[in-house]
Amino acid sequence: MIKISEVYKTYNEGQVSEVKALNGINLNIAEGDYTVIVGSNGSGKSTLLNIIAGSVLPTSGTIMLDNENITKLPDHQRSKWLARVFQNPLSGTASGLSIIDNFRLAAIRTQPKGLKIGISDHFAQQVKDKIATLGLGLEDKINQQMGTLSGGQRQALTLLMSVMDSCKVILLDEPTAALDPRSANIVMQTADKIVKEFNLTAILITHNLKDAYTYGNRLIQMGEGQLMRDLNTAEKEKLQQNQLFEWFS
Amino acid sequence: MDFYLTALLQGLCLSAIALGVYLSMKIFNIPDITTDGSYTLGGVVTATMLTHQQSLWLTIPAVLVIGGIAGAVTGLIHTKLKINALLAGILVMTALYSVNLKILGRSNVPLLNTASIFNWLNITADPNQNSLVILLIVVILLVAVIGYLLKTDFGIAMRATGDSEQMIRAMGVNTDRMKITGLALANGLTALSGFMMTQFQGFADINMGIGIVITGLGSVIIAETLINWLRITSVVWSLILVVGGAIVFQMVLAVTLSIGVDANLLKLVTAVFVLLIVSLPRLSFRRQHD
């Protein structure tokens, strides 16, 4: 599904502040895989995700998605395959717009945004039904501004929004980092449900080792811009939680 | 009474600017001051075309397109060359001064016996009331069209661009192109104000646009205060309040003049008035929470 070959990324090349964020990454992610990436700060996880999403372009190397070379494609053109959930709940949704406006944009993520009014009663009902599956009681507030909701509610809605239109890959960049434990749990479970229900290829970055243990069928540890450990499904199943904690001690 | 009617008519003439500034500043979150140049550009193109016996119905699209081009240039400089929006606006505004002078040929051109939108309909004998009806039709049309646009899928994407750029890019929108379109639209509207005003006052002047961006800003800020105060979320109502803001603004200036303030001080009064509307809500807000 995603094939990353020999990807290097250097920020501020040739300057004192030069940072080698990625040092020759080779990574193959199969369709339907739920890959969890862990690693300390500065290990290159976020850069890797941004390179897949297209908001950062690699210094060298290639990225293939579905046998198509997307290395040079800007982020807004990759959105026909990719949906994203950001670390900051504010980044995934537009605060000043109502919930239904946000969902309308999500519903036409892969299509051109034309000069017709797309929000109909039928669409509103569809959105309500979707939101009701979260069980957060937000289905009656679809005309409320997104900015009035809590971070957890917004992350959960962002997850739902990502499957409003056709989607193959979902990138989860520390989606629960800014949330309280209860909201974080809801978001992680919603993500898991969506990934399974829509058979998505998912990549999750997390600092929460318990989540890394619980979710996904492949586990990667990054360090200094390289892959340090790469556990497949069988290896991940054998992994004990305390072993995982030892990786970081 | 006629005095205030004139202020009302001026307010309506300038409401297109207010709508334009509302688009650039509030919807796209870009401080655009190309306005001063594109307003004059609209007036200059109008005067030149009308004095060359061009039809009104050709002049209107020409004004919209040329104003749009001015805005698109600012947008291109801002997005493609990554230059601060304020600076991009100042550059285009400065360049437009020469362009305007070249189009107009001299610094002032009166419109004598030329076609005018204010002669388009003759509903009442009183020319001022007649102008009022025509201006109301134009403004209602503008509010309806912009109101519709902002509700479409494209319009939602426009609003999201100014709100969360990261989000809207992830939704597959090219934000650069969106901003260029938005600035083109805003300056097209601004030029339309120049079109209305030139015919209303009967001449085009190379300096007619100096400080006009403040008028637009002031109108939008008056409207915004009301929008927040009345907790309005409806797009169309926000637009109506922006038009209201433009009228209130001209009314305040009319009152200032009628109580005998020196006309030379008008720009100073305008600036102080805008400062007051911006700062008053903040001052009272502070006191509540101290």
- The per-type count for chain B, helices as H runs and strands as E runs, is 11, 2
- Least Cα distance to B163 among A108, A226, A145 occurs for A145
Could you identify the residue written with the tokens 């990759």? A78
Query: Shortest Cα distance from A196 to chain B (angstroms)?
Result: 22
Quick check: B280 pLDDT over 80? Answer: no
Residues of B in contact with A80 (CB under 8 A): 172
What mean pLDDT is predicted for residues A29-56? 93
Distance of CA A236 to CAs A197, A213, A228, A244, B1, Å?
22, 8, 15, 10, 83
Which pLDDT band holds residue B288 (cuts at 50, 70, 90)? low
The two beta strands, A169-173 and A201-205, are parallel
pLDDT of residue A136: 87
Residues B99-105, mean pLDDT to the nearest whole number: 96
DSSP letter, residue A111 = S
Q: What is the pLDDT of residues A191-201, one digit of tens each?
A: 999 999 999 99
Asked if residues A118 and A204 have their Cβ atoms less than 8 Å apart, the reply is no
**Alpha-carbon distances, residue A227 vs A23, A137, A212, B187 (angstroms):** 9, 41, 16, 51
Q: How high is the ipTM of this complex? A: 0.88
What's residue B279's pLDDT? 83
**More confident position, B14 or B124:** B14
Please check whether residue B179 is in contact with residue B165, taking contact to mean a CB–CB distance below 8 angstroms. Answer: no
Residue of A nearest to B28 (CA): A96
Task: With a cut of 70, say whether residue B286 has pLDDT above it.
Answer: no
pLDDT score of A43 more than 70: yes
What's chain B's average pLDDT? 92
Do B167 and A92 make contact, defined as CB atoms within 8 angstroms?
yes
- Range A32-55+79-246: architecture per CATH: 3-Layer(aba) Sandwich (3.40)
Q: Would B93 be classed as within a structural domain?
A: yes
Residues in chain A within 8 Å Cβ distance of B163:
94-97
A79, A97, A113 ranked by CB distance to B163: nearest:
A97
B170 to A145: CB separation less than 8 angstroms, yes or no? no
- The answer to whether the Cβ–Cβ distance between B172 and A110 falls below 8 Å is yes
The pair of structure tokens assigned to A21 is: 């964020």
* Lowest mean pLDDT, pick from A114-123, A157-166, A185-194, B278-287: B278-287
Give me the mean pLDDT over the B113-137 stretch. Answer: 89
pLDDT at A249 over 90: no
Asked if the model's pLDDT at residue A185 lies above 70, the reply is yes
Site from B149, B169, B171, B233 to mutate, A interface, most A CB atoms within 10 angstroms: B171
Select from A74, A95, A114 the Cβ nearest to the Cβ of B164: A95
pLDDT class of B289 with cuts at 50, 70, 90: low
C-alpha dihedral, A27 to A28 to A30 to A35, nearest 10°: -10
- Asked whether residue B20 is domain-assigned, the answer is yes
Quick check: is B92 in a domain?
A: yes
Distance (Å, rounded) from C-alpha B45 to C-alpha B59?
A: 8
- Residues of B whose CB is below 8 A from A75: 169-170
CA distance to partner chain A, nearest, from residue B228 (Å): 13
Residue A122 has pLDDT above 60, yes or no: yes
Question: Which residues on chain A are in Cβ contact (under 8 Å) with B174?
Answer: 74, 76
Q: Is the pLDDT score of B290 beyond 70?
A: no
Kindly indicate the confidence band of residue B82, based on its pLDDT and cuts at 50, 70 and 90: very high
pLDDT interval class at B126 (50, 70, 90):
confident
Q: How far is B168 from chain A (nearest CA, A)?
A: 8
**Between A and B, how many CB-CB pairs are < 8 A?**
94
- B159, A94: Cβ pair inside 8 Å? yes
Q: From the candidates A46, A55, A73, A76, which should be mutated to test the interface with B, based on the most B CB atoms within 10 A?
A: A76
| Residues of chain A contacting B168 with CB distance shorter than 8 Å | 94, 105
Q: Is residue B265 part of a domain?
A: no
In DSSP notation, B52-82 reads TT--HHHHHHHHHHHHHHHHHHHHHHHHHS-
Higher pLDDT, A212 or B278: A212
Domain span holding position B164: 2-209
- Residue with structure tokens 């997850």? A159
Percent of chain B with pLDDT over 90: 76
Q: Which two three-digit tokens encode residue B84?
A: 């601060």
The residue-averaged pLDDT of A49-53 equals 95
CA dihedral A161, A162, A167, A172 (to 10 degrees): -170
Looking at residue B285, what is its pLDDT? 56
**Given pLDDT bands bounded at 50, 70 and 90, which one contains residue B157?**
very high
Closest by CA position to B285, among listed B221, B225, B219, B217: B225
Distances (CA, A) of B131 to A210, B42, B51, B110, B115: 71, 19, 21, 19, 14
Mind listing the pLDDT tens digit for each residue in B243-258?
999 999 999 989 988 8
Q: Which amino acid is at A147?
A: G
**Residue B284 has what pLDDT?**
62
Q: What is the pLDDT of residue B256?
A: 87
DSSP state of A87: S
Residues whose CB is less than 8 angstroms from the CB of residue B115 and which lie 6 or more positions away in sequence, other chains included: B50, B53, B55, B56
Question: Which pLDDT score, from 0 to 100, does residue B127 have?
Answer: 87
DSSP string, A53-77: HTSS--SEEEEEETTEE-TT--HHH
Q: Domain extents for chain A?
A: 32-55+79-246
Cα torsion angle, B217, B221, B223, B228, sign: positive
Assigned token pair, A117: 């009014």
Two tokens at B248? Answer: 């209130």
Closest-CA residue of chain A to B151: A117
pTM: 0.90
pLDDT over 60 (residue B236): yes
* 3-state SS, residue B269: helix
- Say whether pLDDT at A52 is over 90: yes
Residues within 8 A of A (CB atoms), B 150-209 only: 151-154, 156-157, 159-160, 162-164, 166-175
Q: Provide mean pLDDT across the span A51-73.
A: 94
Report the residue from B152, B163, B170 with minimal CB separation from A75: B170
Is the confidence at residue B24, as pLDDT, over 80?
yes
- Reported as a single tens digit per residue, the pLDDT across B34-54 is 999 999 999 999 999 999 999
Tell me how far apart the alpha carbons of residues B199 and B9 are, in angstroms, rounded to a whole number.
12
Q: Which two tokens stand for residue A170?
A: 């979902």
Nearest residue in chain B measured CA to CA from A90: B164
Report residue B286 as tokens: 């502070």
Model confidence at B1: pLDDT above 90: no
> Nearest CB to A105: which of B156, B162, B175?
B156
Is the residue at B188 inside a domain?
yes
| Residues from chain A contacting residue B154 (CB–CB below 8 Å) | 113-115
User: Which is more confident, B213 or B122?
Assistant: B213
In a domain, B279, yes or no: no
Cβ-Cβ contacts under 8 Å for A202 (sequence gap 6 or more)? A33, A34, A35, A169, A170, A171, A172, A191, A195, A216
Which among A79, A94, A116 has the least Cβ separation from residue B163? A94
pLDDT, position A178: 86
pLDDT bucket at A36, cuts 50 / 70 / 90: very high
Query: Are B170 and A53 in contact (CB < 8 Å)?
Result: yes
Q: How many domains does chain B have?
A: 1
